[in-house]
Amino acid sequence: MRKAITGHKAVAEAMRQIEPDVVAVYPITPQSEIAEYYADYVHNGLVRTELIPVESEHSALSACIGAAAAGGRVMTATSSQGLALLVEVLYIAAGLRLPIVMALANRALSAPINIHCDHSDAYLARDSGAVQIFAESAQEAYDYTLMAQRIAEDMRVRLPVIVNLDGFTLTHTVQPVDLLEDEVAKKFVGEFKPFAPLLDVEHPVTWGAFAMSDYYFELKRAQEAGMEAVPAVFLEVQRAFAEVSGRRYEGFFEAYKLADAEYALVVLGSTAGTAKVAVDELRARGMKVGLLKPWLWRPFPGPAVAEALAHLKAVAVLDRAFSFGTMGALYEDVASALYPLEKRPILVNYIYGLGGRDITVPQLVQALEELPKIRRTEWALRYIGLRE
Amino acid sequence: MAGLKGWRELPLGGVVAGGTARDLNKTGSWRAERPIWHEEKCIQCLQCWLHCPDDSVLIRGGKVTGFDYEHCKGCGVCAAICPKDAIEMVPERGGECARP
Amino acid sequence: MPSIKVLAEREERGVRFTGGHTLCAGCAEPMVVRTVLNAIPDPVVVASPTGCLEVATSRFPGTAWNVPWIHVAFENAAAVISGVEAAYKVLRKKGLLDKRVRFVVFAGDGGTYDIGLQALSGALERGHDFLYVCLNNEAYMNTGVQRSSATPKCAAATTAPVGEAIPGKPQERKDLTEIVAAHGIPYVAQAAVSHLIDLANKVERAMNYEGPKFINVLTTCPLGWRTPRDSAIQQAKQAVETRYWPLYEVIEGRYKINYKPKEHVPVEEWLKTQGRFRHLFRDPQGKELIAQIQAEVDRRWELLLKKEQCFGVGG
């Protein structure tokens, strides 16, 4: 069923179809619409979810943790400062191996305060232990919200999953989205299987025990095993999704015209749409260029990225946030993925689009056109769209 | 760290079954004084049981039967609360008492 | 009303909080925890924030909790229990659970008066069905006796030391019980570890109400108060006798003082037995400070009497 809806509505529709037991959410621009849509479903009796209208994002995720440990399927959503406030408990959700799915409407972090898109919020959660997926479009945001639920709940994984969608660019623009029928979506997501639920009062368990130096390290290593399981599960879930939707997502990233390319961009989120136009323009002019757009950012699919980029002459990695004092986070992922290769492309790192700054086709065309002139990989940031 | 489990053997999310501390931690080794129960003075008011921080006053059928010296830390709260002086705190002597 | 025999019978049927925890010898917290848990016959799920109780009862792989228990962080126990309770409501609606389950938070004063106040207020306003028990030992004991907003004026704390310029904590303690009562929840009470049967009765009464219930329990910390390790009960009892810590309830907005000491015992009698107030009996300005503390105790007691008079059970 095709509908013209915003990214927010697409995510909210996926949530309605998943119909989690508990949704705890706190308003923040630009995420608020997800909370509003879901409240509307609850108040109109379309879902049996308990909506907890919490007093902060910290409490939103804390309530989600309680509900998930109790034995419920739970979801939430946030943005920017809200993510910053709840990031403490995001680490805990991951440490407790709780399969909480959270939409993150990407927005710049303060200061200065700003409401528009960049990826500083997602980057803040980079090392939290949450799986992170990036959507390019409202369609991808919808599809990956459904898939995220299965990835999170797989017993090999059991981790929180963040579905990133660019604030305003995706959340507030109307796009055509193919929605699954409710029954198909519900069947795809399946029944929730709780693990050691608190509400199984006959078998009392302790969640959130205190671990000293005798066990902390082993428990964190066991947590990493959940991350290690993600790539295989991710591919399995993509295949299962293709069967019910007909939409084929094959792999950890989209490789756009990359196979025979000499130069390429690597970029997360909605900017990939703009980048595709730039690639097409240059292809029309005879330059062999391509694009790599990760869907899966954490865990980072390093070996697969290295294989996909190995044959290129030069690659520009675009980061929509600073990692102050060092190179961009995505750049560092790509660089360390390529490092084991004997022959690897020249790499360059651009910071772009902070605080909702527009990124245009000509700017990306220019970045690609400059790649052949760059002689070697440098330890220096470049910028797109910044006034000197 | 001999005898500790490797990471592959640990439960998902570090979740553990309830009520295991009693078997794992024998806090009786902390004790510098031990409570002695004088049954003949006891009126079975259960105040010692009610106030014991370590669940170490043993009861059966609603009556005190003695102390759990494996866990009693020797705080003396029971002796202080007892209305009939039926509990006496005496110094622990040597390791054999302190580690039952 | 649960007598001591009833509580004992229940514990004989199933110990809910075991020995083998590593709380200090003479700690009053387990007395409160065991009494509250034994006063609730239904199955219980417990949440605790970070603190002495959490650290000392849940060291992996051991746990003193023989009921389902969860700890997440310091400031969010009320939010965590909100989530547990919400999940329970849905699973019951879906027919996946048939048992009546009760929800309890045990939290210290730091996790309640200070860092957890926002989450507590939110959960109270939303009306979740749970009992919140504050084990108020009047400072951050787990991290080494730092001052909290529950710490009484003039008490020595490691972040409010007795110095040449400032004699202990300069501020009065926050009246959290009244702040909670202002939320208009069905049941609010103050209790003390010296009056455990009173506490058990309060728990039983509280559990008759649907919605949030709150009991603020004065819970002696011999280490932080610098009193002998067998003194927990005597200390709390004296706090009640001096009217420093009145035992009272606010049931559906109606005040009831559970115990009115017949004689006026000066608060000095309580202060002088504790190391944290030793400077008041040594330094020249001590007399004036004790007078100030007494005046505040009297002011709060008079206010409470007036509230009972105006908004009492019979009123």
pLDDT of residue C25: 98
Residue B99 — pLDDT band, cuts 50, 70, 90?
very low
For chain C, which chains pass the contact test of at least 3 CB pairs under 8 Å? A, B
Contact B22 C18 (CB under 8 A): yes
The DSSP letter of residue C48 is E
Q: Are strands B63-67 and B57-60 parallel, antiparallel or unpaired?
A: antiparallel
What is the C-alpha to C-alpha distance for residues C120 and C49, in angstroms, rounded to an integer? 12
Query: Does residue A184 sit in helix, strand or coil?
Result: helix
pLDDT value, residue A312: 98
Q: Check CB contact under 8 Å for B13 and A207.
A: yes
Between β-strands A253-256 and A289-294, what pairing exists: parallel, antiparallel or unpaired? antiparallel
Structure tokens at C236: 């709390």
| Contact across the interface for B21 and C21, Cβ inside 8 Å | yes
Check pLDDT > 60 for residue B96.
Answer: no
Size of interface A-C (CB pairs under 8 A): 170
Q: Among A117, A114, A56, A49, which Cα is nearest to A89's?
A: A56
How many angstroms away from the CA of B28 is the closest CA of chain A? 22
Query: Of the residues A222, A245, A268, which one is the last residue of a structural domain?
Result: A245
Neighbours of B85 (CB within 10 A): 9
Contact A214 B19 (CB under 8 A): no
Segment B48-85, tens digit of pLDDT: 999 999 999 999 999 999 999 999 999 999 999 999 99
Please, what is the average pLDDT of chain A? 98
Distances (CA, A) of B76 to B88, C25, C230: 9, 9, 5
Q: What is the pLDDT of residue C302?
A: 98
pLDDT of residue A163: 98
C102 in A contact zone (CB under 8 Å): no
Strand order in the sheet with A253-256: A253-256, A289-294, A263-266, A314-319, A346-352, A381-384
Task: Provide the angle, in degrees to the nearest 10, between the axes of the packed helices A138-153 and A7-18.
Answer: 30
Looking at the partner chain, which of A53, A72, A210 has a beta carbon nearest the beta carbon of C58?
A210
H helix runs in chain C, sequence order: 4-13, 29-38, 52-57, 77-93, 109, 117-126, 176-181, 196-206, 222-225, 232-241, 268-271, 286-311
- Tell me whether A93 touches chain B (CB under 8 Å): no
Considering only the beta carbons, identify the residue of A195, A203, A211 that sits closest to B14: A211
ipTM of the complex: 0.97
Closest chain C CA to residue A206 = C69
Tokens (6 digits) for A248? 């084929």
**Is the Cβ–Cβ distance between A314 and A263 less than 8 Å?**
yes
Q: Do C21 and B71 touch, CB atoms closer than 8 A? A: no
Two structure tokens written together for A136: 């390019």
Rounded percentage of chain B residues whose pLDDT exceeds 90: 89
Contact flag C230-B24 (C-beta cutoff 8 Å): no
The H-assigned helical ranges of chain A are 7-18, 32-43, 57-70, 80-95, 120-124, 138-153, 182-189, 216-245, 271-284, 302-309, 329-338, 361-370
- C177 three-state secondary structure: helix
Q: Show which of residues 316-375 on chain A sit within 8 Å of chain B, judged by CB atoms.
A: none
Yes or no: say if A168 and A30 are a contact pair by the CB < 8 Å rule: yes
Angstrom distance (rounded) from CA C249 to CA C178? 11
Residue A170 · residue A7 · CB < 8 Å = yes
Helix (DSSP H) and strand (DSSP E) numbers for chain B: 4, 5
- Residue A108 confidence (pLDDT): 98
Q: Name residues whose C-beta falls within 8 Å of residue C35's C-beta, 6 or more positions apart in sequence.
A: B50, C7, C196, C199, C200, C203
Rounded to whole angstroms, how far apart are CA atoms A270 and A7?
Answer: 11
Under DSSP, the state recorded for C110 is: I
User: Are C20 and B74 a contacting pair at CB < 8 A?
Assistant: no
Question: Are A137 and A280 within one domain?
Answer: no
Q: Does A196 sit within 8 Å of B7, measured CB to CB?
A: no
pLDDT band of residue B100 (cuts 50, 70, 90) is: very low
Instruction: Identify the domain containing residue C103 by its residue range.
Output: 4-311
- How far apart are the C-alpha atoms of C291 and A26, rounded to whole Å? 47
Give the Cα separation of A244 and C298 in Å (integer). 72
Answer whether A78's CB lies under 8 Å from A104's CB. Answer: yes
The end-to-end CA distance of chain B, in Å, is 24
CA distance linking residue C155 with residue C276, whole number of Å: 5
Q: What's the CATH code of the domain at A178?
A: 3.40.50.970
On whether both A67 and A203 belong to a single domain, the answer is yes
> Using CB atoms, which chains have 3+ pairs under 8 A with B?
A, C
Buried b (16+ CB within 10 A) or exposed e, C167-198: bbbeebbbbbbbbbbeeebbbbbbbbbbbbeb
Question: Is the separation of the CB atoms in B62 and B19 below 8 Å?
Answer: no
**Tens digits of residue pLDDT in A172-230:** 999 999 999 999 999 999 999 999 999 999 999 999 999 999 999 999 999 999 999 99
Q: Do C63 and B68 touch (CB under 8 A)?
A: no
CATH of the domain at C274: 3.40.50.970
Q: What is the pLDDT of residues A35-82, one digit of tens each?
A: 999 999 999 999 999 999 999 999 999 999 999 999 999 999 999 999
For A59, which residue in chain C has the nearest alpha carbon? C79
User: By the 8 A CB rule, do C6 and C76 touch?
Assistant: no
**What is the helix, strand, coil percentage profile of chain C, to 5?**
40, 15, 45
Contact criterion met (CB < 8 Å) for C19 and B79:
no
Q: What is the pLDDT of residues A242-269, one digit of tens each?
A: 999 999 999 999 999 999 999 999 999 9
- Residues A314, A341, single domain; the answer is yes
Q: A219, A245, A271 — which closes off a domain?
A: A245
Test A205 with B19 for CB contact under 8 angstroms. Answer: no
Q: Region C94-113: what's the mean pLDDT?
A: 97
What pLDDT does B94 receive? 59
Q: Do A209 and B19 touch (CB under 8 A)?
A: no
pLDDT in tens, A104-161: 999 999 999 999 999 999 999 999 999 999 999 999 999 999 999 999 999 999 999 9
Q: Is the pLDDT of residue B97 over 50?
A: no
Distance from CA of B26 to the nearest CA of A (A): 18
**pLDDT at C139 (0 to 100):** 98
pLDDT at position A51, please? 98
Q: Which domain holds residue A359?
A: 253-384
State the nearest Cα–Cα gap between A35 and chain C, in angstroms.
Answer: 17
Q: What average pLDDT does chain B have?
A: 93
How many structural domains compose chain A? 2
Alpha-carbon A109 to chain mean position:
17
Cβ-based neighbour number of residue C78 at 10 Å: 33
Q: pLDDT tens for residues C9-53? A: 999 999 999 999 999 999 999 999 999 999 999 999 999 999 999
Structural domain ending residue among the three candidates A224, A245, A266: A245
Write down the number of H helices and E strands in chain C.
12, 8
Distance from CA of C90 to the nearest CA of A (A): 6
* Residue A369 and residue A270 share a domain: yes
Asked if C62's CB is within 8 angstroms of B18's CB, the reply is no
Residues 6+ apart with CB under 8 A from C165: none
Q: What is the rounded distance in angstroms from the CA atom of residue A91 to the CA atom of residue A127? A: 8
Chain-centre distance for alpha carbon C69: 19
Q: Which of A48, A72, A89 sits opposite C76 (nearest CB)?
A: A89
Is the bond into A299 cis (omega within 30 degrees of 0)?
A: yes
A12-43 residues labelled b (16+ CB within 10 A) or e (exposed): bbbbbbbbbbbbbbbbbbbbbbbbebbbebbe
User: How far A323 CA lies from chain C's nearest CA (Å)?
Assistant: 27
Q: Is there a single domain that holds both residue A272 and residue A352? A: yes
Do residues A228 and A272 both lie within one domain? no
Per-residue pLDDT at A292: 98
Task: Sketch out chain B's domains with CATH numbers.
Answer: 25-98 (3.30.70.20)
Rounded-to-10 torsion of CA A262, A266, A269, A271 = -60
Contact state of C26 with B60 under an 8 Å Cβ cutoff: no
Q: How far is C145 from chain B (nearest CA, A)?
A: 20
Residue C1: pLDDT band (50, 70, 90) is: confident
Nearest to C63 among B18, B51, B76 (CB): B18
With 0-12 / 13-18 / 19 or more C-beta atoms within 10 angstroms meaning exposed / middle / buried, residue A311 is middle
Q: Does B14 touch chain C (CB under 8 A)?
A: yes
Residues A367 and A348 in one domain: yes
Whether A270 and A235 map to the same domain: the answer is no
Residues A141-153 pLDDT 10s: 999 999 999 999 9
Cis-peptide into A112, omega within 30 deg: yes
* Residue C61 with chain A: CB contacts under 8 Å: 209, 215
Would you call B30 an interface residue with chain C, using a CB distance cutoff of 8 Å?
Answer: yes
Q: What is the mean pLDDT of residues A329-345?
A: 98
Q: Specify whether the CB–CB gap between C62 and B19 falls below 8 A.
A: no
The band of A13, judged by pLDDT with boundaries at 50, 70 and 90, is: very high
Contact A211 C60 (CB under 8 A): yes
Q: Do A95 and B7 touch (CB under 8 A)?
A: no
pLDDT tops 80 at residue C315:
no
Q: Check pLDDT > 60 for residue A302.
A: yes
Please tell me the total count of domains within chain C: 1
Q: What is the pLDDT of residue C160?
A: 98
- Residue A19: list chain C partners with CB under 8 A: none
Kindly tell me the number of DSSP H helices and DSSP E strands found in chain A.
12, 16
Joined together, the tokens standing for residue A193 give 């299987």
Phi, psi of A109 (to 5 degrees): -90, 150
Give the CATH number, domain containing residue A301: 3.40.50.920
- Closest by CA to A81, choosing from A119, A123, A110, is A110
